[in-house]
Structure 1
Amino acid sequence: MDLGFDDVHVLVTGIPCASGIELVKLFLDLGAQVTGQYNTNAEPLTTLAASHPKPKNLLSVQASLTSEDSIASLYATASEHFKKPVAVLVINHAKVHPPVALVDMDLGRWEDTIKQDLTSPFLVTRKFLGGLRTAQGGPEGDRARDKVSVVFVGSTAGLFGEAFRADYAAAKSAVMYGLPLSLKNEIVKIAPRGRVKCVAPGWTKTPRVAGSLQDPNLVGRALATMPLNKVAEPKDIAYQVAILASSVVSGHVTGQLVVVAGGMEGRLLSNPGNMTI
């Protein structure tokens, strides 16, 4: 099925994470022109460009997404390169600190997480909307507005909470609920067919958690409330993002959250052997 991404300008943030590079590859395969944002490591995007049959459809741009000037430069570079504004925005970036109890969490850690995982998506999205509003006239501007979609990548941490990462869970909850549910009612004032959605992955096979997934006890606890009884692959997340971003198959869907976590129902907080009545 044609998802309608031919020559559509897609911006994916948060490279080089495994899910991010999978998203870029999928959108390229679907015919999109993709800008991949990275902060410090361009190697995965460079490698993908070298191996993909359509390398000219991929642009790598360095940007710090907590800086308004850097974000403005990102959009200017991307729009100039592809000669059209960004039509589909995928907010995939996030920062995860090591676990620490809330009682021991210092204010600097809390503020940094909110800045990276909530304020930064706000800044990137605000600039995206501003670019759409100023892209008046011409076929490219009109076509971009017809395809407009924002997809936030949340986390099951924002749905169920996550002990020892309350900062991350709180930021993700805002990105999954308050922000998209408000934005879906505003975006149509700029792009009448604009849509806003969120995907919330659970445990996913990425390099960041590869070590944890070697622990059978941890995996058992992670899968205990998942009827599908498996850990997601990065492509599982990418497919859902693409489906939701598509104006063809999801053109009448907005303000929705899709949880990609194998049917997870919550957290296993106690081992059966430790329970008392």
Structure 2
Amino acid sequence: MLDLGLKDLHVLVTGASGGIGVEITKLFLEQGAKVTAQYNTKSTTLEPLLENTSKLHIAQANLSSESSVQHLFTSATNTFGPIHIAIVNHGIWVEENAMLKDMSLERWNFTMDSNLTSAFLVAREFIKGLEKEKAKDLDDQAKEKVDNASIVFVGSTAGMFGEANHSDYAAAKSALMYGLTRTLKNEIIRVVPRGRVNCVAPGWTHTPKKTESLQDPEVVYRATATVPLKKVATPYDIAVQIVILTSSRVSGHVTGHVVDVAGGMEGRLLNMKQDI
């Protein structure tokens, strides 16, 4: 890949142990960045990466907990110094189908905490860290790194088109993609003058969690019926767009955007032939 000017920048990747998260982590390491990779329950997918680099720090955190997020940032900065880029990639999609009329408040709150409140906590701590760095007497190189700070949120086509039986997830992702991204891009520059905030919205992606369901031709049909490219994304397809957006060298004038990486998806397939 093109040199994106990310060498020795400190990148925080949340949800790093998932299919997309691992790919994001790999790409940043290939670019020479220092990476703090957050996971919640399992780190087995990340541990093999430690064999080939000294620039990876793996850290556990429950991102729905304010104190846990604060501890994550302390651990990260103690290891690699100030964080320059935050990839807010974590999220939870509750598998059980539930129409809004049947959805429990417990599930709604869990989804909001896991996808939206947690993103707020990470973004807030990140910007607080930038503010602390700006208050220091930095040399020109360190100042340049901080001034070009970047956040990339990871949304979903569910936030663009909605998702029946998963209104909780769709609402959380939509708030992240539009309300939070487009507000924060106007606030971050009050702290760092060239700070940028963007969002990537994946569609169906062939992650390990989707491997089984994508063996079903009916699932593949419904996933690709409104997609001109007629295929499901790979984790690399998503990760490479995220990494490119963080680079001030190639994306330095891009902020406040939601980039959908969904093969041109135009919406949901609502009805099958037999339904009409």
TM-score range, shorter chain: over 0.9
**SS of structure 1 residue aligned to 2:12:** strand
- 1:111 alignment counterpart: 109
Alignment partner, residue 90 of structure 2:
93
**Local SS of the residue matching 1:56:** coil
Task: Give the C-alpha shift of residue 66 in structure 1.
Answer: 1.2
* 1:85/1:144 contact within 8 Å kept: no
Displacement, 1:138? 2.0
In the other structure, the counterpart of 2:47 is 46
SS of alignment partner, residue 11 of structure 1: strand
Partner of 1:30: 31
In the alignment, the residues of structure 2 paired with residue 154 and residue 199 of structure 1 have an alpha-carbon distance, to the nearest angstrom, of 6
Shift of 1:25: 0.3
Any gaps of 5 or more consecutive residues in structure 2? Answer: none
**Does the CA-based 8 Å contact 1:199-1:260 persist in structure 2?**
yes
Give the superposed CA RMSD: 1.1
Whole-angstrom CA distance in 2 between matches of 1:74 and 1:251: 28
The alignment of Structure 1 onto Structure 2 pairs a total of residues equal to: 271
Are positions 1:59 and 2:60 aligned together?
no
Matched residue SS, 2:248: coil
Q: Tell me what 1:217 maps to.
A: 218
- Does the 8 Å CA contact 1:132/1:141 hold for their aligned counterparts? no
What are the Cα deviations for residues 147-168 of structure 1, in whole angstroms up to 9, with x where unaligned? Answer: 3000000000000000111000
Counterpart of 1:259 in structure 2 is 260
User: Where do 4+ consecutive residues of structure 1 move more than 6 Å?
Assistant: none
Amino acid at match of 1:72: Q
Aligned partner of 1:171 in structure 2 is: 172
Instruction: Find the aligned partners of 1:80 and 1:142 in 2 and give their Cα distance.
Output: 19
Q: Which residue of 2 aligns with 1:6?
A: 7
1:44 is paired with a residue whose SS is coil
Question: Aligned equivalents of 2:207 and 2:131: distance in 1?
Answer: 36
Distance (Å, rounded) in 1 between the aligned partners of 2:209 and 2:41: 16
| Percent of residue pairs bearing the same amino acid type | 53
- The farther-off stretch of 181-190 and 209-218 is 209-218
CA contact (8 A) 2:149 2:194 kept: yes
Tell me what 1:239 maps to: 240
What is residue 142 of structure 1 aligned with on the other side?
A: 143
Whether the aligned pair in 2 keeps the contact of 1:156 and 1:200 (CA below 8 Å) is yes
Secondary structure of the structure 2 residue equivalent to 1:47: helix
- Superposed CA deviations along residues 74-120 of structure 1, whole A, max 9, x for unmatched, are 111111111x2100000000011122111111000001111111000
* In structure 2, distance between residues paired with 1:137 and 1:149: 21
| 2:15 alignment partner, SS class | strand
CA distance in 2, matches of 1:270, 1:67: 40
**Aligned partners of 2:230 and 2:248: how far apart in 1?**
32
1-structure distance, mates of 2:120, 2:39: 17
Q: Aligned pair in 2 of structure 1 residues 141, 128: CA closer, same or farther (>3 Å)?
A: farther
Relative to the length of structure 1, the TM-score reads: 0.95
Contact 1:86–1:144 (CA<8 Å) still a contact in 2? Answer: no
- The whole-number CA distance in structure 2 between the counterparts of 1:70 and 1:141 is 27
8 Å CA contact 1:13, 1:20 repeated in 2: yes
Partner of 2:73: 75
Q: What CA distance in whole angstroms lies between the structure 2 residues aligned with 1:63 and 1:144?
A: 26
Local SS of the residue matching 1:196: strand
Aligned to 2:186: 185
What do residues 245-273 of structure 1 show as CA deviations (whole Å, max 9, x unaligned)? 11100001100110000000001111123
Report the secondary structure of 2:250's partner residue: coil
Q: Distance in 2 between matches of 1:189 and 1:267?
A: 39
More displaced 10-residue stretch of structure 1: 230-239 or 206-215: 206-215
Contact 1:85 1:141 in 2 (8 A): no
Shift of 1:212: 1.3
How far apart, CA to CA, are the structure 2 residues paired with 1:165 and 1:107?
Answer: 13
Query: What amino acid does structure 1 have at the position aligned with 2:138?
Result: G
- Conserved in 2, the CA contact under 8 Å of 1:38 and 1:63? yes
Three-state SS of the structure 1 residue aligned to 2:109 is helix
Q: How far does the alpha carbon of each residue in 1:109-146 deviate from its partner, in whole angstroms, 9 at most, with x for none?
A: 00111111100000010000001101122236513323
Give the TM-score of the pair, scaled to structure 2.
0.96
SS of 2:82's equivalent in the other structure is: coil
